[in-house]
Amino acid sequence: MVAVQPNLPAILMTVISSIPIPIAMTIAGSDSGGGAGIQADLRTFAFHQVHGTSAITCITAQNTVGVSRVDALPAEAVVAQIQAVAADIGMQAVKTGMLLNAEIIAAVAVQAERLPNLVVDPVMVSRTGAQLIDDAAVVSLRDRLIPLATVLTPNRYEAQMLSGLEIHTLADMQAAAEKILRLGAAAVLVKGGGMIGELKGVDVWCDGDRLEVLRTTTIETQDTHGTGCTLSAAIAANLALGHDRLTAVQQAKQYVTTALCYALRIGRGQGPVGHFFPLIQAANPIGRGE
C-alpha cells in the first residue's frame, strides 16, 4: 500500500486523483531484455504522460545479443486482454507490434475495427532483411490489419515486401509509400533506418494528400535496439494526446532521435535507446551522442 502524505490538503488530494489522462494500448510481444516490445512501448507512453495498457501476444527470451525462444499466447488470450481494457478503461490510441502468426493477426484485426487511432508497426522483416513471420502471417497482416491502420510504419524491407518494389533511392521510397497506401491505411511512413549513406534515417510520409520527406539528425550509435517499437509507440502516444497524424509522427521522430543520443551501453550486444533521457541527462549532461 502506498503511504499518503499527511500534510497534503484533502482538496488537493481530490484534485490529483481526478486529473484525466490519455490512454494508449500496445498489442505486442514481451522482450525479456527490456529494450523493445511491450517494455519499450510502456516506457514510451509513460514519457509522454500517457497511461499505457497492454495485450501481450508472445513471450520472448532475449537479450542484447539475440532471441533464444519465442512462445505465442493463444489468440483468445490476446483478445481477452484487449476486451478487458476496452470495456473498462478505454483508450485514445493503439499500436501493434509483433503479432507473430496469422491466427493472432486475424483476431486482433477483428478487435481493431472498433479501436481508435491504430498505429501498425508491421514487424515482418528485421532491419537487416530477415523475415520474422511466415508467409501466411504476412498475408493476414496485409489483407486484414493494414487496411485498418491510421498510420503504418514499415521499414525498408517491409516496404519492399508490401509494395513489391526494390528500394535503393529516395524516389524508390516515395514510390513504395504511394503504392503501400493503396492497401488501405490512412497514412504510411516508410522508415529509412535500414538505408545507407545520406538516406539512413530519412523517412517518407504519404497520406494521399502529402508526400513528404522527413529528416532528423543521424545519431551514430550501435545501441539502437527497440527503435521501431519506440517510434510507433511514440506516434500512438502523440495521437492519444490529440495531435494530428503528421505532427504525431514528427514529434515521435524527434523523441527517438533524442533517445538515441542517450542509448544504453548494456549487455554484450546491441543496447536499447534511452527512453527516459531527461533522467540520463541529469546524471550525464553530455549524453552519448557522438
Question: What sign for the dihedral angle of Cα 200, 24, 75, 162?
Answer: negative
Closest CA to 200 of 227, 218, 212, 224: 218
Pairing of β 23-31 and β 93-96: parallel
Catalogue the active-site residues.
191, 224, 226-229
Distances (CA, A) of 218 to 8, 140, 234: 46, 34, 18
Nearest 10 degrees: CA dihedral of 97, 98, 99, 101? 150
